[in-house]
Amino acid sequence: MLEVRHIARQFPAVRALDGVSLSFEPGRVHGLIGENGAGKSTLMKILSGIETPDEGEILLDGKPMVFRNPGEAMAQGVVMIHQELNLIEPLTVAENIFLGREPLKGPGIDRARQSAAAADALKKVQAEFSPEDLVSSLSLANKQLVEIAKAISHEAKVLIMDEPTAVLSDKEIRSLFALIRDLRSQGIAVIYISHILKEVLEVCDDISVLRDGKHVASIAAGDADAAKLASLMVGRELGDVYPAKSALPDVAPLLNVADLQVPNLVEGISFSLRPGEILGLAGLIGAGRTETAEAIMGLRPCTGKVQVDGKPVSAKGPKEAVEAGIAYVSEDRKALGLHLTLSTTENATLANLAHYANPVVDRAQEKAAVEGWVQKLGIRVGDVDAPVGSLSGGNQQKVSLAKWLDTKPKSLILDEPTRGVDVGAKREIYQLVNGLAAEGMACLLISSEMTELIGLCHRIIVMRQGRIAGELSGTEMTEENIMRLAAGVGA
């Protein structure tokens, strides 16, 4: 039996784990759930030897253990299968399974023995490929089987699986679950981490919930349902995900875009956006939505007219766009939206630094502004001077929003604002956007989540291949209609 007692881990900006005690019994599948940033990954990294805890202990069959690296954890039979599989593609299945502990014959590798032992391990996971196949030739599901076979050949007592179904088809998920049950019957303790509550309920015996680094509940899967788990994860009843839409004031448009063209990507986009309106921009990947936003922002060479309040915005660069009152929250938070190595404070004031610095930065004023945003947006941050990269996805997104709201824009373009953000933070972002619109902000919402567009927007423009394929409003805003326009079928 694997046990953790009072485990704590402090990162610069957050207390990722705060006194967590859990036990994982042999022959049971233990689900571990929680929002992004709840501490699941940190706990698993500690169990598998990637991180070391600041406090607390790990016990394996009652004996205290210290895992300084993954090798030491594996040697004790604690093996983790990561979401991104760790296989060497150009090597064979057998070579991967025995990587780093190849059976030797004299100075060379005993290929026959390696192959036979690999075949043994593969049989236990009911794999239908040969140990001599190249890993690069296998499907994702089969690669996962190789990882599991590798774990079994390590005589795993505890198998940790992180989001194992993320890349699998329905049929593959069924056979994975059958395999997990089989491993369970062989007395292995399986720790199963997933966001998909339905699957957790199906495959697990016990379910533990983490929230803000603390262990909040452990229940038998038979006594749980998805609603109960979700409310345990966020710490309250969820209620309606989308706030009620505010009424549209009958005023002149604030943002006018006319015949916007980006060579080969955007071909003649025109629309107007009123203050207080949330306009959705739907479309498949590659339809030109992000490129449209970047062109409006002056980040891409383009032709066409952009006007704010009737005044033309020169498309020279993002600075001109910001001065005209447009802000763009990029879809790529880590590469474009934020400076991960800079602090929360430095990020939040970066787009509006002239306000705080002329030319010397007024740190007191800067700090006050950042504290205001932390409160207003509910950013969970331990230390505003720690690198923003140490925050969870949802909190990073809020810092990114703060950075742009700090420029006091009249028009806000949000590009996939809830991507990689957990349920609770998503809902907070929806409320925030709705509130901003109610106060008169003109919002353009780019999203691939159709329910989000339908739940939040007054109107939806659907793009296809750089052009506007159609516009939907009121009751026409359905997933079927959006898909039909986005894919260019029927109609």
Partner 1 sequence: MKAGFFERYGSLLALILLFSIGAVWQRDFFLSPENLRNLLNQNAYIGIMAIGMTLVITVGAIDLSVGSLMALAAAVGLTVVNRQMGSGAGETQAVAVGALTALGLGTLLGVINGLLVTVGRIAPFIATLGGLVGYRSLTLVSAEGGEIRSASNTILPRVAKGGLPFPSLPDGSPLFTWATVLFLLTAFAVAFLLNRTRLGRHVVAVGANERAARYSAIATSRVKLASFAILGFLCGVAAFLQLARMNSVSTSGLGQLNELDAIAAVVIGGTSLAGGKGRVWGTVNGVLILGIINTLLVASGVSNYWQGLVKGVIILLAVLIQRGSNDR
Residues found near partner 1 in the complex (CB under 8 A): 12, 299, 317-319, 321-322, 328, 330, 335-342, 346, 350-351, 353-354, 356-361, 363, 403, 407
Tracing tokens 């140990």 back to the chain, one arrives at 131
d(CA 159, CA 79): 5
Q: Shortest gap between Cβ of 363 and partner 1 (angstroms)?
A: 8
| Helices 393-405 & 423-438 angle (0-180, nearest 10) | 20
- State which residue, 374 or 388, has the beta carbon closest to partner 1: 388
Q: How far is the CB of 240 from partner 1 (least distance, A)?
A: 33
287 CB burial (10 A radius; 0-12, 13-18, 19+)? buried
Measured between alpha carbons, how far is 381 from 392 in angstroms, rounded to an integer?
Answer: 9
CB of 349 to partner 1, least distance (A): 8
Q: How far is the CB of 98 from partner 1 (least distance, A)?
A: 29
CB closer to partner 1, 253 vs 318: 318
Nearer Cβ to partner 1 (171/316): 316
Residue among 321 and 463 whose Cβ is closer to partner 1:
321
Instruction: Give the span between the Cα atoms of 403 and 396, in whole angstroms.
Output: 11
> Which residues have C-beta within 8 Å of that of residue 179, sequence separation ≥ 6?
125, 126, 145, 148
Q: 3-state class of 461 per DSSP?
A: strand
- Min dist CB 351 to partner 1, Å, is 5
Closest separation between CB of residue 163 and partner 1, Å? 26
Give the tokens for residue 319.
Answer: 């600075």
According to the 3-state scheme, what is the secondary structure of 59-76?
EECCEEECCCCHHHHHHC
Q: What are phi and psi of 261, to 5 degrees?
A: -130, 130
Give, in order, the Cα–Cα distances in Å from 248 to each of 104, 241, 458, 460: 75, 21, 8, 14
Based on CB atoms, which residue is closest to partner 1, 312 or 317? 317
**b/e per residue 390-417 (b: at least 16 CB within 10 A):** bbbbbbbbbbbbbbbbbbebbbbbbbbb
Pick the closer one to partner 1 by CB: 116 or 361.
361
Give the nearer residue to partner 1 in terms of CB position, either 133 or 385: 385
Contact criterion met (CB below 8 Å) for 12 and 387: yes
CB of 347 to partner 1, least distance (A): 9
Q: Considering the complex, state which of residue 97 and residue 322 has its C-beta at the smaller distance from partner 1.
A: 322
CB 455 within 8 A of CB 287: no
Give the strand pairing for 55-60 and 2-10. Answer: antiparallel
Q: Which is nearer to partner 1, 49 or 424 (CB)?
A: 49
Task: Pick between residue 164 and residue 337 the one whose CB is nearest to partner 1.
Answer: 337
* Cβ atoms of 188 and 106 closer than 8 Å: no
Q: In angstroms, rounded to a whole number, what is the distance separating the alpha carbons of residues 45 and 50?
A: 5
Nearer to partner 1, 185 or 358 (CB): 358
CB of 373 to partner 1, least distance (A): 15
| Cβ at position 409, least distance to partner 1 in Å | 11
Residue 390: CB minimum distance to partner 1, A:
11
Question: How, if at all, do strands 467-473 and 459-464 pair?
Answer: antiparallel
Dihedral of the alpha carbons of 362, 368, 369, 370, in degrees to the nearest 10? 110
- Smallest separation, CB 382 to partner 1 (Å): 12
Contact criterion met (CB below 8 Å) for 452 and 482: no
